[in-house]
Amino acid sequence: MYVDKVFCEECGTEVSEERPVTDCPQCGEPLRIDYDFERIGKEIDKDQIENRKSDLFRYRELLPLKEVPVTLGEGDTPVIESSALGPEADLAVHFKLEYCNPTGSFKDRGGAMTVSKAREWGVEKVADDSSGNAGAALAAYSARAGLDCTIYVPEKASGEKIEQVKSYGAELRTVPGPRENTAEKIRGETEGSDVHYASHNLSPYFTEGMKTIAYEVSEYFDWNPPEHVIFPVGGGALLVGVYRGFRDLLRLGWIDELPAIYGVQSKACNPVVRAFEASREDIEPVDVEPTIAEGIHIGNPERGREILEAIRDTDGRALAVEEAEIRRTHKSLAEREGIYAEPTSATPIAGLPELSRRGVIGSGDRVLVPITGFGLKDVRAGERN
CA 98, CA 210: separation in Å to the nearest integer? Answer: 11
**What pLDDT does residue 148 have?**
98
Domain-located, residue 157: yes
CA 71, CA 144: separation in Å to the nearest integer? Answer: 8
∠199-200-203 over CA atoms, to 5°? 65
Q: Is 302 found in the same domain as 244?
A: yes
**What pLDDT does residue 380 have?**
65
Q: Is 350 found in the same domain as 340?
A: yes
- The string of pLDDT tens digits covering residues 273-325 is 999 999 999 999 898 898 999 889 889 998 999 999 999 999 999 999 999 99
Domain-located, residue 67: no
Contacts of 234 (CB under 8 A, 6+ apart): 265, 295, 296, 297, 298, 301, 344
Domain-located, residue 312: yes
**What pLDDT does residue 159 have?**
81
CA 110, CA 94: separation in Å to the nearest integer? Answer: 22
Domain-located, residue 72: no
CA 221, CA 348: separation in Å to the nearest integer? Answer: 21
Q: How far is CA 361 from CA 88, 227, 323, 369, in A?
A: 14, 9, 22, 13
SS3 148: strand
**End of a domain among 197, 229, 257?**
197
Domain-located, residue 328: yes
CA 291, chain centre distance (Å): 19
How buried is residue 332: exposed, middle or buried, by Cβ count under 10 Å (0-12/13-18/19+)?
A: middle
SS3 113: helix
Domain-located, residue 52: yes
Domain-located, residue 74: no
CA 351, CA 233: separation in Å to the nearest integer? Answer: 12
CA 289, CA 297: separation in Å to the nearest integer? Answer: 9
**What pLDDT does residue 179 have?**
74
Q: Is 229 found in the same domain as 216?
A: yes
Pinpoint the alpha helices (H) of 89-173. Answer: 107-121, 133-145, 159-167
Q: How many structural domains comprise the chain? A: 3
- The string of pLDDT tens digits covering residues 53-91 is 877 889 999 999 998 899 999 999 999 999 999 998 889
Domain-located, residue 24: yes
Q: What is the largest CA-CA distance in the chain?
A: 55
Q: Is 138 found in the same domain as 237?
A: no
Q: How many residues are present in the chain?
A: 385
**Residue 24 sits in which domain range?**
3-62
Which stretches of the chain score pLDDT less than 70? 158, 380-385
**What is the domain-level CATH number for residue 95?**
3.40.50.1100
Q: Is 114 found in the same domain as 260?
A: no
Residue type, 121: W
Q: At what angle do helices 204-220 and 107-121 cross, to 10 degrees?
A: 130
Q: Is 357 found in the same domain as 332?
A: yes
Q: Is 320 found in the same domain as 231?
A: yes
Q: Is 245 found in the same domain as 353?
A: yes
**End of a domain among 168, 197, 226?**
197
Contacts of 259 (CB under 8 A, 6+ apart): 225, 226, 227, 228, 229, 246, 314, 368
**What pLDDT does residue 381 have?**
63
**End of a domain among 197, 224, 243?**
197
Q: Is 118 found in the same domain as 97?
A: no
Buried b / exposed e along 333-360 (16+ C-beta atoms within 10 A): beeebebbbbbbbbbbbbbbbbbbeeeb
**Beta-carbon count within 10 A of 54 CB:** 10
Of the candidates 153, 136, 134, the residue with the CA atom closest to the CA atom of residue 144? 136
Q: Is 315 found in the same domain as 225?
A: yes
Predicted TM-score of the model (pTM) = 0.95
Mean pLDDT, the chain, whole residue set: 93
Looking at the chain, which runs of residues are DSSP E strands? 3-7, 14-15, 32-35, 79-81, 92-97, 125-129, 148-154, 171-175, 196-197, 228-232, 260-266, 317-321, 366-371
CA 170, CA 131: separation in Å to the nearest integer? Answer: 14
Q: Is 368 found in the same domain as 290?
A: yes
Q: Is 224 found in the same domain as 356?
A: yes
Residue by residue, DSSP assigns 63-91 as: S---SPPP-SS-----EEE-SSHHHHTT-
